[in-house]
Amino acid sequence: MSKLVTIYGGSGFVGRYIARRMAKAGWRVRVAVRRPNEAIFVKPYGVVGQVEPVLCNIRDDASVAQAMMGADAVVNCVGILARSGKNTFDAVQDEGATRIARAAQAQGITQMVHVSAIGTDAESDSDYARTKALGEAGVLKYMPEAVILRPSIVFGPEDQFFNRFASMSRLGPILPVVGADTKFQPVYVDDVAKAAEKALVEGVAPGIYELGGPEVRDFRALMATMLEVIRRRRLVLNIPFFAANVMAYGFAAINTLSLGIVPAQITPDQVRNLRKNNVVGADARGFDALEIQPVAMEAILPDYLWRFRPSGQYDAIKESAKNLRT
């Protein structure tokens, strides 16, 4: 019988790509999510019955243990950018990750991949970075042979980065950003999935791998690249951190007073994260150690950002016709 992997958060942005790759590799895939009825789209990743969404609450021991019953490996892709109700940073990124590793050890599972993030720091003033670090520590406590993947900002068709700012660019001549000089090393979502697949299928040395794309660029340069792809001219305006903090606390107040109906456009914790560069460390193991060649942004962005061009699909059709002629 083919091997079984349980992927927590397997219907999310990164998780769905890992699920697809593991199905193509011949594994049975159990996608553990809070709302299985909203994850039905993962089932066609494999043959009938190969990929199945199951109910799981990462905050509950029994639920987590049940979702991995009989599995040969587990993958944790669960993470949040802002708290929502009971899904706090501590509950999800620290306690949740630790809970999965503890249950895996108890069930005798020997393989685990944990998707974390560059910039983790147990002493950070950012709840996001702090709980990511604590989650990693919890994973290694119970699953010392685990593979931990720390990607920089992840891009792809479903991302909430380039899609968000491309959408904002349609609202006016100015595109505001916080931390215009902060550096990132964007990584393609399927390259992260490829790293997870390699860890499970081929086996790699345990430990931490920092994943970044071929190029390091600051926030301003990333927006310039995005604007070039969508063929719009906008002034990229840097919002100073002190002003961004004021805005973030204002958004937080509005979100609280509206009982969560009005979402916060940016949070104080996100402002704290934007103060620090998000790039692969000089001595870190990365794609080279995994023998993976990461894909450049320019090769992928036009495939999904074309819809934000002034003429939308018609620009894409014209470009396809031009490519065919040449």
Element containing residue 18 per DSSP (H, E): helix 13-24
Residue 322: pLDDT above 80?
Answer: no
Report pLDDT for 82.
81
Q: Residue with structure tokens 């968000």? A: 164
Report pLDDT for 97.
96
Q: Of the ranges 70-74, 84-88, 204-208, which one carries the lowest mean pLDDT score?
A: 84-88
pLDDT band at 255 (very low <50, low <70, confident <90, very high): confident
For residues 185 and 222, is the Cβ–Cβ distance under 8 A?
A: no
User: Mean per-residue pLDDT for 271-286?
Assistant: 94
Instruction: For the chain, give the percent of residues with pLDDT over 90.
Output: 86
Pairing, β 73-76 against β 111-115: parallel
For residues 209 and 31, is the Cβ–Cβ distance under 8 A?
A: no
Pairing, β 111-115 against β 235-239: unpaired
User: Mean per-residue pLDDT for 4-20?
Assistant: 96
Task: Please give the model's pTM, rounded to 2 decimal places.
Answer: 0.92
Q: How far apart are CA 261 and CA 222, in angstroms?
A: 31
The residue among 325 and 224 whose pLDDT is bigger is: 224
For residues 114 and 97, is the Cβ–Cβ distance under 8 A?
A: yes
pLDDT band at 318 (very low <50, low <70, confident <90, very high): low
224 token code pair = 């310039």
Report pLDDT for 254.
86
Nearest-10 Cα torsion for 230, 20, 278, 178 = 40
Residues 6+ apart with CB under 8 A from 322: none
Report pLDDT for 295.
96
User: Mean per-residue pLDDT for 180-207?
Assistant: 96
Q: How far apart are CA 56 and CA 251, in angstroms?
A: 31
Report pLDDT for 326.
55
Residue 324: pLDDT above 70?
Answer: no
pLDDT band at 83 (very low <50, low <70, confident <90, very high): confident
For residues 68 and 26, is the Cβ–Cβ distance under 8 A?
A: no
Dump strand ranges (E) for 84-153.
111-115, 147-151
Report pLDDT for 314.
55
pLDDT band at 60 (very low <50, low <70, confident <90, very high): very high
- The strand pairing partners of 308, in sequence order, are none
Report pLDDT for 261.
78
Q: How far apart are CA 123 and CA 130, in angstroms?
A: 6
For residues 61 and 38, is the Cβ–Cβ distance under 8 A?
A: no
Task: Read off the pLDDT of residues 237-254 as tens digits, 9 standing for 90 and up.
Answer: 999 999 999 999 998 888
Nearest-10 Cα torsion for 165, 170, 173, 175 = -10
- The strand pairing partners of 23, in sequence order, are none
User: Mean per-residue pLDDT for 87-111?
Assistant: 95
Element containing residue 186 per DSSP (H, E): none
Say how many Å lie between the first and final Cα of the chain, rounded: 49
